[in-house]
Amino acid sequence: MENPQSSYTHTAFPSASFWGRRRDVVRTVTLPFQLDMLKKTGRYDAFKLKWHPSYSDPPNVWPVPNHLFWDSDVAKWIEGACYFLREHEEPDIRAAIHELVEMIRGAQQEDGYLNIHFTVVEPGKRFSNLRDKHELYNAGHLIEAALAHHACFRTDGLLEPILKYVDLLIRTFGSGSEQKHGYPGHPEIELALLRLYRVTQDERHLQLAEYFLSERGNPKGVDGQHFYAAEKEARGEREGEWPVYYPRDDAPYRYSQAHLPITEQPTVEGHAVRAMYLLTAVADLCALVPTGEAKTTYVDSLHRLWSNMVGKKMYLTGGIGAIARWEGFGINYFLPQSTDEGGCYAETCAAIGVVLLAERLLQIELDAKFADVMELCLYNAVLTGMSHDGKAFTYTNQLASSDLELSERKDWFQCACCPPNVSRLFGYLGGFVWTHKTVEPNQVELDIHLYTAASITVPVGDSKVTVRQETDWPSSGKVTFSVEMPSEVEVALRLRIPGWATEWTLEPELADPVVEHGYLTVPPPWVRSHPRFSLEIPMAARLVAPHPYTNQAVAAVARGPIVYCVEDADNTWVTDHFKSVIFDTSVSLQEVKRTDIFADETIIGVCAVDAASFLHVPESSDAWYGTPSDSLQANKKESLNFIPYYARANRGGKGMMRVGIRVQLG
């Protein structure tokens, strides 16, 4: 089998670089810490198929027992660990993976079935509740873990039992009269099957993924009934026993992206993580299918739903999912900054899903609008999901908080999907930096989506091409490239010009530069003549604001790809809440490097505002009826200090934090 990670496994990140430091923390601290948590919580030994006290939890806990997805927690940790083991030898991690693989193999049933809950807790009820019970979601993460394990160890120790399980799924699901005409409530297996197909080239893996995608939302899937309704009826449940997730008649369908076929959905709806995983699979399928009406229809749907999400349902940080009740999307432009204001869930896994979707869309169409969002999410909505020391995590990521309880991080969660998901994303990181392909036997095209100190080596026949980025991005906007290539190989580069950039320069100068869909093309002859060159994109602090339709008169600070926030730890003069601060948007933003936030890392581009640049409005019982002029005359002007949003909740303080600061109207 081919290497399933060939596009990014040769990427190296220097330890001194921005992402190199974060990845080193994950490798040396987070992976061992999460392994310990897997053991302490019962997940590690769960594949031994012994009873665990949590299995006795009532069926309506959160809103289903958390052990239903223990398989996926372990699988995501294995996947992330395997990415790092390909670069560094970690004996304890390696030993744990070997032991887990043996336990997983031992837990498999004779016909290939593999699931903790339906083997131990509810034997005989497999595939009876695809909507809620996460069987196929777990299977998808086991597939992805098996692919990473195969790429790392070059053995079929985990892939062999997983392929046997997939064979069972192929026999079970499909359009045949003896098959289940269903699909999972939580998408994931679709994108896993497509990744598997890229490795095995087994058409059955592709066909099963296509079936799950095309059947989803079919209103007359089983004897004229929606599949979830038929499935519920088969369980003997009465009409009206749907979980109360969504305030609509089609709540359980919309929540699971099954209210309409994918190609007919006008807006992105429901559970945010489910939506992103589903659309990622659709994009993967489109990249695999060369042409045809089905591809055109799917691509049109991807563009429509992406535009709705980015333009009307995404936070300034790249976070998505404003509604806590169903961990998902609300109506257009409903994007409150904090839970105090009625929403702002912004789950870490949802942001990871946006990154995965953007990466897949770039394989279909090279357009910087996808990479811009991918970069925004990585530096903000994703990076904030893990503490600086690598031992605490966030599930939700509000853009404002008023107390420590809302802003603090946790070492683990009952539903622990986010911590191992962050780990595997950091392991996978090279896949987001660039994409390469050989267009002719001796010509390589390299699309560079993200700028960071890193290098990639691309095999070309019996030769190889190495491209390096040297930069301290995002502190500085200068990136120096060096290209090492044999004389018989031509290299074409396409460099993304970020949407937030106001200007850029290439040194040496390129005559008649062509920027198409946000990418600057650097042709092979120029690369041959200039194997070392620099791209400079000036970074300066700037103001950003949400769409006016959100009805939020606020402004926020950004610099390059990083969005900033204010915390009470840096602004002790704010004694109540940052809602009481009014931003003077005419201020000149000052950039200051600081080393006092973290002992071992410089926080770059912390923006401090000159004294007397902000207006502080003290809250009082009678302030609401004062005239604007009277209020402003009484205001005290103070400076305000910003830190990157990803650095929030890493120090002491009362937990007060805010991204968007009110501006004076009129």
Instruction: Express each pLDDT in 423-437 by its tens digit.
Output: 999 999 999 999 998
What 3-state DSSP class applies to 4? coil
What is each CA distance from 445 to 9, 438, 489, 534, in whole angstroms? 17, 6, 11, 18
Q: How far apart are CA 282 and CA 279, in angstroms?
A: 5
Locate all alpha helices (DSSP H) within 491-625, ordered by sequence.
524-529
Burial class of residue 404 (count of CB atoms within 10 Å of its CB; 0-12, 13-18, 19+): middle
Tell me, what's the pLDDT at 61? 52
Rounded Cα distance, 183 and 164, in Å = 19
Residue 620 clears pLDDT 60, i.e. is over it: no
Main-chain phi, psi angles of 530, to 5 degrees: -130, 70
Confidence category of residue 339, pLDDT binned at 50, 70, 90: confident
Confidence at residue 137, expressed as pLDDT on a 0 to 100 scale: 98
pLDDT at 634: 45
Q: What is the pLDDT of residue 242?
A: 53
216/234 Cα distance (integer angstroms)? 19
CA atoms of 596 and 249, how far apart (whole Å) = 53
DSSP assigned state of 588: P
Q: According to the model, what pLDDT value does residue 14 have? A: 93
Q: What is the rounded average pLDDT of the residues 269-292?
A: 94
Question: For the residues 351-370, what does the mean pLDDT come to?
Answer: 97
Q: Which of 199, 190, 75, 205 is nearest to 142 (CA)?
A: 75
Q: What is the rounded CA–CA span in Å between residue 406 and residue 398?
A: 8
Is 203 in a helix, a strand, or coil? helix
Helix axis angle, 203-215 to 272-288, nearest 10° = 130
**By the 8 A CB rule, do 404 and 424 touch?**
no
Q: What is the pLDDT of residue 294?
A: 80
- Supply the pLDDT for residue 632: 44
Q: What per-residue confidence (pLDDT) applies to 593? A: 78
Can you give the pLDDT at residue 367?
Answer: 98
Residues 578, 159: Cα–Cα separation, whole Å = 52
Provide CB contacts within 8 A for 156, sequence distance 6+.
150
Residue 606 has pLDDT above 80, yes or no: no
Q: Taking 60 as the threshold, does the pLDDT of residue 625 lie above it?
A: no
Residues counted in the chain? 666
Query: Which has more pLDDT, 609 or 546?
Result: 546
pLDDT surpassing 90 at residue 564: yes
Say if residue 666's pLDDT is above 90.
no
Lay out the sheet containing 532-536: strands in order across.
Answer: 454-460, 463-470, 478-484, 532-536, 505-507
Question: Which structure tokens are listed for 247?
Answer: 């305030």
Tell me phi and psi for residue 562, to 5 degrees: -100, 130
Model confidence at 665, pLDDT cuts 50, 70, 90, reads low
pLDDT tens-digit series, residues 238-259: 755 555 455 566 677 899 999 9
The verdict on domain 18-310+320-428 having CATH code 1.10.3470 is: no
Residue with tokens 């004779």: 110
Same fold, 18-310+320-428 and 434-536: no
As a whole number, the mean pLDDT across the chain is 89
Position 611, amino acid? A
Of the candidates 516, 492, 520, the one whose C-alpha atom is nearest the C-alpha of residue 507 is: 520
* Higher-confidence position of 318 and 582: 318
Q: What is the mean pLDDT of residues 204-211?
A: 98
- Residue showing tokens 């590690």: 44
Residue 103 pLDDT class (50, 70, 90 cuts): very high
The answer to whether residues 194 and 283 touch, using CB atoms and an 8 Å cutoff, is no
Q: What is the pLDDT of residue 9?
A: 46
pLDDT of residue 325: 86
What pLDDT is recorded for position 402? Answer: 85
Per-domain boundaries in the chain: 18-310+320-428, 434-536, 542-663
Quick check: 628 pLDDT over 70? no
What's the whole-number mean pLDDT along residues 552-570?
92
User: What does residue 516 show for φ and ψ, rounded to 5 degrees?
Assistant: -125, 125
CA 334 distance to own-chain centroid:
21
**pLDDT score recorded for residue 635:** 59
Domain 434-536 has CATH 3.40.50: no
Which of 330-339, 612-621, 656-665 shows the lowest per-residue confidence on average (mean pLDDT)?
A: 612-621
At 308-324, the pLDDT tens digits run: 999 999 999 999 999 98
pTM of the model: 0.94
pLDDT of 370 strictly over 80: yes
pLDDT at position 292 is: 80
**How much is the average pLDDT of 91-118?**
98
Q: What is the mean pLDDT of residues 547-566?
A: 92
Q: What is the pLDDT of residue 626?
A: 37
Lowest average pLDDT, out of 69-73, 179-183, 335-339, 617-621, goes to 617-621
Q: 489-498 pLDDT, tens per residue?
A: 999 999 999 9
% of the chain beyond a pLDDT of 70: 88
- For residue 406, pLDDT beyond 80: no
- Lowest model confidence (mean pLDDT) among 109-113, 213-217, 321-325, 614-618: 614-618
For residue 533, the surrounding DSSP H or E stretch is strand 532-536
3-state secondary structure of 261: coil
- Phi, psi (5° rounding) for residue 51? -70, 140
Give percent of the chain above pLDDT 90: 72
Residue 440 confidence class, pLDDT cut points 50, 70, 90: confident
